[in-house]
Structure 1
């Protein structure tokens, strides 16, 4: 470890302390001392502290804990230094992250930060199969998200994604690389936020839509009660039911399914009367000819620390019983991908009618015009490494005829 005098000189340079004179706070640091000015400047701003007896003990080696204290105070001043000094502070925060955590200073968000940029990412390996072996395929996907802080109220986000599928019956295996998220988010005070660009949109709990949206989303309210309005274009999913195709439904479906750009306005209300109860409702106005509007509601209940129960219902405005879909489920466990050894199991019953408004659903490979049970198990193999397995059970069509069962295994990584 370096001597304290050297450490405070380095800290002075990093922090850009510019005051020329400050009162001497330590009895063993005199104006004739070569580090006098640096020590006095940092002490006057509370960045370094002495011992209870009023001494600084500058000839002693500085401990990692003492250095971490200086770094913690440097983090508070990070918005007042230049880019080079900012990068040095970030490197110091990484080096002393354990000591900073012990001091109660959260530095996880700084570990992958350079200047005003932060980056995170994830990777996934997936195998999907069914009773029919010809339907099996393997997929890998990697994504990296860059988040830039523009100012205290504004951030810009760009995410790069690359995926590849290997199917047994594919004429060719495909690789897709794209910028799948790019948007700007601005906070208007504490209770209003607007995001514009290509972003995630979850309608209700995701039974109808949980995918890519391009447009503007405005949210207002507090944690217990908030509302949002989204206006723009759906960029993922499909309105088609099983067996339908563009030629058969050209007038009704061709425009929005080929381009995947249905124009919509989505109005949502979220209510959390307690920490263990969440109620959501939505109305989706689809601005496309011959395509129905939809509405829905969901309920989530936390029954203790490990038990969840919930369900969701969605329906088109004019299709009657054929336009309905609902699901109800129960889970047990406390799976957290960041905590090794945590796990959970979940079972959901679903009933999806032929004309139900499912576009890009969280029920993954569940199709319209069928019903059955979806079972899921998750386990954290290591910190930020998770294994998930999903399978359909007792799958039937609405005519009660048995359908093929499907299953899927995912290995997920976060960084």
Structure 2
């Protein structure tokens, strides 16, 4: 009886109306596996009933009504565990005919044909700087391309720019527990030469081993900690065990986005702002750093999230990184504090975020290289609002402080500040959903400086995002 009430309550909340009562399809009874499957999802909170748990209506459910419930469950498929995901996929296959012939428009279903669906996003972005001149610092090289002693600067004009990007993700269901994903991306600056070049930037297979274990292999996303050190791509494999309350993961693979981006502020000898950007731990991705990332995340009560990570770096030592010691020397780090050429570049960190209620949230993260001095990186922020891109009119404001040491282990950060090392700033941002699935965002640094106290040009960014 409880299962019946749960399913019927879910039916009411999902907007199933009596208009479908006269449809020609047969009823789904409480004895049917699909009925019981939806009841299980309802009992687990994937589908919710009325707040008081009551419902008054019929006991049997038509196939059209069941299809509508499956449609709504599909919308939440990215927020369920492996077992629930398998149930939803099986229900979608069972009711595929009804889903394809529903008279009600359901966006998720329109993007899903049989065992295949696609999603995507588009972005228009503006980036600008407060100052119009920069001095870029480069290392001199000999005729073989090897760095030599010395540093020089070139004065240049940093122009504000507009660019656009589009991404489409194709997802195929192999079976109840396996899916294959490919994402195509194209982007270009407005007025730039040529046409947008499309590339496949994600391609992977994901398999659920029961309820608590998921494995992903291929070119997929890697989000380390709270995103301060690395939010980019990895080519390898990730195994995750557990659920939201407590989970652990191990990732092994190559990380092509490992790149330093060191800022140098204004000085008497160097007007303007410049930075030295190296290509990463190695030019050839095949010779790039091999990372083994251990992570653990969990909840302390319903409103506090905690996590920690340790990243073991193989195949690369401090002596292999391009000009790491030269950059540190140029920025005033004493020679005795520089890492030995054979030093391992393992790094670790901790992070936390908390919901303080009344739409107020705080977060923070700390990271550093295990054996490298002057490598502390930390950030702390507070946000107010309840931004949800799916809900028009929702918004959020956030203030954040970022402090990155000369050799901070920050490479491809989820935070939008323009530099990764030798940089500190206040950062403010705001987001507003102008319509369903259309979000406007704006970002700005305030009082940006390098670690030596020199002024750094302020950074501005605004973007309009679309999801489909």
Q: Normalising TM by the smaller chain, what interval?
A: 0.7 to 0.9
RMSD across aligned positions (CA): 3.3
Q: CA deviation at 1:91?
A: 2.4
- CA distance 1:294–1:81, shift in 2 (3 Å): closer
TM-score computed with the length of structure 1 as normaliser: 0.75
Confirm or deny: 8 A CA contact 1:305 1:334 kept in the other structure.
Answer: no
SS where residue 91 of structure 1 aligns? Answer: helix
Q: CA deviation at 1:262?
A: 2.4
Confirm or deny: 8 A CA contact 1:239 1:359 kept in the other structure.
Answer: yes
How does 1:303-318 map onto structure 2 within 5 Å?
303-318=356-371
How does 1:1-400 map onto structure 2 within 5 Å?
8=24, 11=25, 69-73=62-66, 88-93=97-102, 95-97=103-105, 109-133=108-132, 134-166=158-190, 172=193, 175-242=196-263, 243-244=275-276, 256-257=282-283, 259=285, 261-291=288-318, 292-320=345-373, 322-367=374-419, 368-400=421-453
CA distance in 2, matches of 1:44, 1:400: 70
CA distance in 2, matches of 1:324, 1:173: 42
Q: CA deviation at 1:87?
A: 5.7
- When Rg is computed on C-alpha atoms for both structures, the one with the higher figure is 1
CA distance in 2, matches of 1:237, 1:132: 28
- CA distance 1:211–1:73, shift in 2 (3 Å): same
CA distance in 2, matches of 1:156, 1:269: 26
- CA distance 1:155–1:279, shift in 2 (3 Å): same
Deviation track 1:143-192 (CA, whole Å, cap 9, x = no partner) reads: 1111111111111111111111248xx7x467331111111111111111
Q: CA deviation at 1:45?
A: 8.9
CA distance in 1, matches of 2:186, 2:291: 27
2:410 pairs with 1:402: no
Greater relative contact order (Cα 8 A, min sep 6): structure 1 or 2?
Answer: 2
SS where residue 262 of structure 2 aligns? Answer: coil
Q: CA deviation at 1:362?
A: 1.3
Confirm or deny: 8 A CA contact 1:90 1:114 kept in the other structure.
Answer: no
Confirm or deny: 8 A CA contact 2:89 2:176 kept in the other structure.
Answer: no
Q: CA deviation at 1:72?
A: 2.9
TM-score computed with the length of structure 2 as normaliser: 0.67
Q: CA deviation at 1:402?
A: 1.1
- CA distance 1:78–1:173, shift in 2 (3 Å): closer
Deviation track 1:27-53 (CA, whole Å, cap 9, x = no partner) reads: xxxxxxxxxxxx7x989998xxxxxxx
- CA distance 1:158–1:91, shift in 2 (3 Å): same
Confirm or deny: 8 A CA contact 2:281 2:316 kept in the other structure.
Answer: no
Q: CA deviation at 1:212?
A: 1.0
Q: CA deviation at 1:78?
A: 10
CA distance in 2, matches of 1:360, 1:78: 35
The equivalent of 1:63 in structure 2 is none
Q: CA deviation at 1:269?
A: 0.6
- CA distance 1:305–1:119, shift in 2 (3 Å): farther
Q: Which runs of 5+ in 1 are unaligned?
A: 12-38, 47-67, 98-106, 247-252
- CA distance 1:148–1:393, shift in 2 (3 Å): same
